[in-house]
Amino acid sequence: MLRKIVLVGNPNVGKSVVFSHLTGSKVMISNYAGTTVEFTSGELNTEKESFELFDAPGTYSLTPSSKVEEVASSLVDQADLVINVVDATNLERNLFLTMEVLERDVPMIIALNMIDEAGHKGVKIDIEKLESLLGVPVIPTVAVSGEGLKNLIDTLPRAVNKITEPLDTAARWVHLGALVGEVQEIVHRHHSWLETLQDASLRPLTGIPIAAAVLYIAFQLVIGLGELMAGFIEKYFFEGLYEPLLAYLSNLLGGSGFLHAVLIGRLIDGEIVFEESLGVLTTGVFVEFGVVLPFLAIFYLVLGFLEDSGYLPRLAVMVDRGMHRLGLHGYSVIPMVLGFGCNVPAALAVRNLESRREKFIACTLMAVAVPCMAQLAMIIGLVGRYGGAYLAVVFASLFFIWIVLGLIIDRVMPGYTPSMVVEIPPYRIPSLKAQSKKLGMRIKGLIVHATPYILGGILLVNILYTVGFVDYLGYIFTPIITGLLGLPGEAVSTLLIGFLRKDVAVAMLVPLGLSARQFVIGTVVLAAYFPCAATFTVLVKEMGVKDMLKSAAIMIVTAFTAGFVLNLLLDTIIPAAYLAFGLVAMALILALVLGSTSDRRELSDIDRVA
Amino acid sequence: MQVNLVEMKPGQSGIISAVQGGHGFATKLSHIGLHEGKKIKKISSVFRHGPVMVCVDNFQVAIGYGKAVRIMVEVTNAEKNSSGRQS
């Protein structure tokens, strides 16, 4: 069996960067605490020996007080050797964990990472002295560029198992204060422009306009560039090249029959229509590569920049006040933002939140009101045809649901959401290489994970139609679907497929020949009613079956209520544009007027404790 | 003068003198590097009940209002040039 090496260290010190360099395997890396929530493992081959390398989630201490810390702590217990990655710009704080590792019975070496950044910040460290005081090898590294990592590997045989006397927390800090005083010298120097921006994005007067601008630009970029790219691909690839090919195939198959239905789908006026035909090769391929992929690529490009620059934690600070009203704190904005890409990683990121209450609220709100990019791309493309006002109604409805549901759950659910304590990383200029690597990983992930679901979903639709199951279901559910939502009974099939892939489900609304208002109702219900299978699996794991059932009940009730209300109001009483505006305004007013209950509950709880 | 982090003014520095309300909270804070006796500087805060940003050593931490009121600081000096800044 291979010997185990574990990378441990504080959050956001670059463990994953070291890991991906040493193993050559690809892992997600960003500039904020909590990117890695589970451990990853890979093989590390040196000239003499092969090891199994583990990338532990970042932790400040080995005293397990959260799930993430438990993972790190148990990894250290199983390790044959520990590489402690230390942020050279924050020596004292990082060495606290180092001391805890030293107290355990395991050989270790230290990677003194970001030594270049420490230099820029005027922090000088006497590495030899640090080595002799700690009693373990200390190797300076710059993981992003790979500097020092060869040296780190060569030092592995010199790892020392130096069991020190356990100290209590206070004594450790006293000891560290003295130690760091001996090895570190700080030279004062002027603020860089990044640091000036850093301060500006944290002050409300400048920070809120910055946050608004960042979100607006990100939104515009995704929509604008996404549409541009999708249009380009549709025109030159799908219409120019692919359609003639499929038309030929359609002829070959005789224009009808089961195989034709599955592969090509229905012909509309004798022609293939990519959005409507519902064949594996027509709609299936088109949805994935013609619509979802371009939007998702642009989204992840923008997200990658936000993640690596270190802006997201600052956004968390700016929205903290508002999020408290929904029973969450600012840091839960990160899963929400991730959710717009795909709900699966977002559900995993919820693990960074402390309490069961927060996790429940964050998961539920995310699953109900944050549509993933695949679904959004379809919504933008298909609802957009009816005009911007209808698109606005979809977004406004989801925003309204997000706010009002949060306000309600926060009031109904016992307990309170404690306020956050988060480290704010310095701004860093994202490297082009890291960005393209990350984008490549995410796009590959989409293609690998989504393709079977998209194609399988369409296959299933065709089978269900062919055997008459859709008609049967439509007949049974007509009272609900038609009576409540004003949609044709067949629309129930989209809810069925939505569990597999929401993007395909939205596409399935097209052949139903819906009016604008019906299409809006259909998409909102589809977005909110239930997460897709992939998300559902992760949510069950993160929340437990009991909470997931409660959450699912909330989702279903919310979706149908929203659909019913839209059916009552949209275009019958209130025109689309006014309704969109009204929903957003009402949500904001409700949030402002109702305020937050958490502060009061948290403060009274403290009084009780104190 | 002992004040909590919310009462402290942006630009002021001090020494953390006490952390109120629960042993778990104090331990957790201490693991991040905010322990009694540590020098701390307040950078800014967002609104009246928003998070407080502080700087300790070389790093910045955002602390939500509910927790910031529980961290007591012995103020040592007030930076003059930051008195006009928004808090």
Nearest to A519 by CA among A506, A532, A530: A506
Flag if A321 and B31 touch (Cβ within 8 Å).
Answer: no
Beta carbon pairs, A and B, within 8 Å: 135
For chain A, what percent of residues have pLDDT higher than 70? 98
Nearest C-alpha in A relative to B44 = A203
Give A178 to chain B, closest Cα distance, Å.
13
Chain segment A580-605, per-residue pLDDT in tens: 999 999 999 999 888 766 666 776 66
Chain segment A362-397, per-residue pLDDT in tens: 999 999 999 999 999 999 999 999 999 999 999 999
Angle at A46 between CA A45 and CA A52, to 5 degrees: 40
Flag if A89 and B51 touch (Cβ within 8 Å).
Answer: no
Taking residue A94's Cβ as centre, other Cβ atoms within 10 Å add up to: 25
Give the mean model confidence (pLDDT) for residues A37-54.
87
What separation in angstroms does the CA of A484 have from each of A36, A127, A475? 43, 71, 14
Question: What's the rounded Cα separation, in Å, for the pair A457 and A462?
Answer: 9
The answer to whether residue B83 scores a pLDDT higher than 60 is no
Flag if B37 and A173 touch (Cβ within 8 Å).
Answer: yes
What separation in angstroms does the CA of A501 have from each of A146, A362, A374, A540? 40, 22, 9, 18
> Which pLDDT belongs to residue A596?
67
> Which pLDDT belongs to residue B78?
60
Flag if B68 and A598 touch (Cβ within 8 Å).
Answer: no
Report chain B residues whose CB lies below 8 A from the CB of A316.
Answer: 62
Q: Which of A93, A204, A317 sits opposite B33 (nearest CB)?
A: A93
Alpha helix positions (H), chain B: 23-32, 65-68
Determine contact: B46 vs chain A, CB below 8 A: yes
For chain B, what percent of residues have pLDDT higher than 90? 45
Give A127 to chain B, closest Cα distance, Å.
18
Nearest C-alpha in B relative to A423 = B61
Residue A237's pLDDT band (cuts 50, 70, 90): very high
**ipTM at complex level:** 0.88
Determine contact: B69 vs chain A, CB below 8 A: yes
Determine contact: B30 vs chain A, CB below 8 A: yes
Determine contact: B81 vs chain A, CB below 8 A: no
DSSP, collapsed to helix, strand or coil, labels residue B58 as coil
Report chain B residues whose CB lies below 8 A from the CB of A330.
Answer: 51, 62, 64
Nearest C-alpha in A relative to B32 = A60
Flag if A419 and B67 touch (Cβ within 8 Å).
Answer: yes
Chain segment A122-181, per-residue pLDDT in tens: 899 999 999 999 999 999 999 989 999 999 999 999 998 888 888 888 899 999 999 999
CA dihedral A85, A91, A96, A97 (to 10 degrees): -10
Question: What's the rounded Cα separation, in Å, for the pair B31 and A107?
Answer: 23
Flag if A173 and B31 touch (Cβ within 8 Å).
Answer: no
> Which pLDDT belongs to residue A598?
64
What is the b/e burial string over A459-483, where b = at least 16 CB atoms within 10 angstroms of the residue's CB? ebbbebbeeeebeebbeebbeebbe
Nearest C-alpha in A relative to B43 = A199
Residue A464's pLDDT band (cuts 50, 70, 90): confident
Residue B86's pLDDT band (cuts 50, 70, 90): very low
> Which pLDDT belongs to residue A608?
53
Beta-sheet pairing, B2-4 with B71-78: antiparallel
pLDDT mean across residues, chain A: 90
Beta strands in B1-87 (DSSP E): 2-4, 12-19, 39-45, 52-56, 59-63, 71-78
Give the mean model confidence (pLDDT) for residues A10-25.
89
The answer to whether residue B85 scores a pLDDT higher than 50 is no
